Amino acid sequence: MKRYELHSHTNFSDGKTSIEEMVNKAYELNSAIAITDHFIGDEFGINKILYSNISSLDSFLKRRDKFSKIFDEVVFGIEITRVNPRKIPEMAMAAKKHGFIVLVHGETGGDKVPAGTNTAALNCEYVDILAHPGHLSEEDALRAKQNKIFIEITAREIHRSENPEIAKICKKFNLEMVINTDAHSADELIDYETANNVGLNAGLSEDEVWQANENAKKFFKKFI
Ligand SMILES: [Zn+2]
Ligand SMILES: [Zn+2]
């Protein structure tokens, strides 16, 4: 079965692997892939040089222009990461306007971001995916439903223990899930079988895993 990966990082931000290697590895695993490096806006103005790649959408646009001509079945997004929650709407809107997939790095215990990030993301119609949200309140679940935002079940080791609680609330509110790797190197990408195990360990059935992959597939195809 073919997989659709909607969350991955390269050495453009903090990943270890070049985009070429990531894409080739995904192909090997029978996976289509979205490259979604971290986007921090101008929050870190003082580190402008260090973060110049990931603080301006221009650099993301240039890279997409270059690589979308080279690769088939690769789409591009950004992951809004560790910003003031009040900035999320404007950053998400700007990225969406340019046709990027918009993820927000959620409030996982494994890699902390400001409190209020989940709520700000789920209130925003321009956000597509809330990544590793950690704890999701019932109010947040209703926001996700209203704005049709996917909730992520993650294969990433530092966040994985939170999956069962997230899956449970998604099922209770009938939210749409996606299973992502959040891979920061090519060896963290996975095939369908491994994603299936991640889903089963989160308390999903095989049908629910299949549905999550279908959600990703349908969404992915809008960007090709
Ligand atoms: Zn990262
Ligand atoms: Zn990520």
pLDDT tens digits for 195-212? 999 999 999 999 999 999
For residue 96, give the H/E element and its range: helix 88-97
13 CA from centroid of ligand 1 (Å): 7
**Residue 26 and residue 10: Cα distance in Å, rounded?**
13
In the prediction, which pLDDT does 51 show?
78
**Residue 141 and residue 30: Cα distance in Å, rounded?**
32
106 CA from centroid of ligand 1 (Å): 12
In the prediction, which pLDDT does 8 show?
98
Q: Mark the residues whose beta carbon lies below 5 A from ion ligand 1.
A: 14
Q: Which residues contact 164 (CB under 8 A, 6 or more apart)?
A: 201, 202, 203
pLDDT tens readout for residues 168-180 = 999 999 999 999 9
Residue-range domain boundaries for the chain: 3-221
16 CA from centroid of ligand 2 (Å): 13
9 CA from centroid of ligand 1 (Å): 7
CATH of domain 3-221: 3.20.20.140
pTM (two decimals): 0.97
Q: Where are the alpha helices (DSSP H) in 104-154?
A: 117-122, 138-146
151 CA from centroid of ligand 2 (Å): 13
pLDDT tens readout for residues 45-94 = 555 666 778 888 999 999 999 999 999 999 999 999 999 999 999 999 99
